[in-house]
Amino acid sequence: MIQLSILKISEYGPWTLTLGSDREHELQMLQASLYKEVQKLFSDKNCLVFLNRSDEFFVVTNGLELEDHIQIQKTLEQSFDIRLTVSIGYAESPFEANLKAYEGKKNEIILNKEHNIFGFVNGKNELQVSIMHLDVNDLSSKRKTNSPYEISSIIFELYSKMSKFFLEKKSLTFFMGGDNFMVIASNDGKNSVQSFIDMIKSNDGISLNCGIGNAHTAREAVKLATKSLDTIREIRDSGKEKPDIYEL
């Protein structure tokens, strides 16, 4: 079981229009500072925020209760002109948790009216989360023959394939910057990562490493996933044959 909270800026479209046409720079600064604050508030509670299209955030909120969400909403309401809507769901797989959160909002299952919180909270129960940290092996060598924009194009094509592949396994993929991706994974997602790595290697000539972390909270799972990835690098750099996948 995993709990997901989806935060979305409320009525953002109409609000952006109130800024006039010379607004893009303002919106970019707002989105960046909002992300910084949201990541700070949730990571302080052992969660991790995954940035989604800049006006929406996915947060693995295992162990967080309604009261924690209200507290965070209050802080955000004090700091920003815009408001956020929060939809919470929990389920066996990350994709199904996202569906529950979506249904909670669509069917107006109100958890807290004043602070725009909808859905279903699991509460203090101990949940599980598996995170896969995928990274391109030796991207630096590609930089010798490809310009910065060409590298970006390669990375986004990879993102697109990864998102599609793991969605079929009820897992959610996010781009973390550089050549880094994280998948909030179901068991099926974890069990099929080797076949994804093999497919990308033979079709695109890109070699991936994957560190996996399992824990009760998102921050701990992400820490272990990154530690696993670094372990693959250490094995490789010591001259031994590296595994593609390492799990903690």
Ligand X SMILES: Nc1nc2c(ncn2[C@@H]2O[C@H](COP(=O)(O)OP(=O)(O)OP(=O)(O)O)[C@@H](O)[C@H]2O)c(=O)[nH]1
Here's the x/- map for ligand X, 208-227, by CB under 6 A: it reads as: ------------------x-
Give one word for 14, left, alpha or beta, with left for phi > 0 and alpha for psi -120 to 50. alpha
Q: Which of residues 164-183 bind ligand X (CB under 6 A)?
A: 176-180
Within 10 Å of residue 139's Cβ, how many Cβ atoms?
17
Alpha carbon 74 to chain centroid distance?
23
Indicate which single residue of 7, 97, 121, 136 sits in contact with Mg ion (rule: CB under 5 A).
136
What is the 8-class DSSP label of residue 120?
A: -
Minimum distance from residue 134 beta carbon to Mg ion (Å): 9
Min dist. Cβ of residue 141 to ligand X (A): 7
Phi and psi (nearest 5°) for 83? -115, 155
Beta bridge partners of 118: 87, 110
Closer of 72 and 232 to Mg ion (Cβ): 232
The binding track of 118-157 with respect to ligand X, each residue x by CB under 6 A or -, is: -----------------xxxxxx-----------------
Cβ(2)–Cβ(93) below 8 Å? yes
Least distance between ligand X and beta carbon 181 (Å):
9
* Positions that interact with Mg ion (CB under 5 A): 135-136, 139, 179
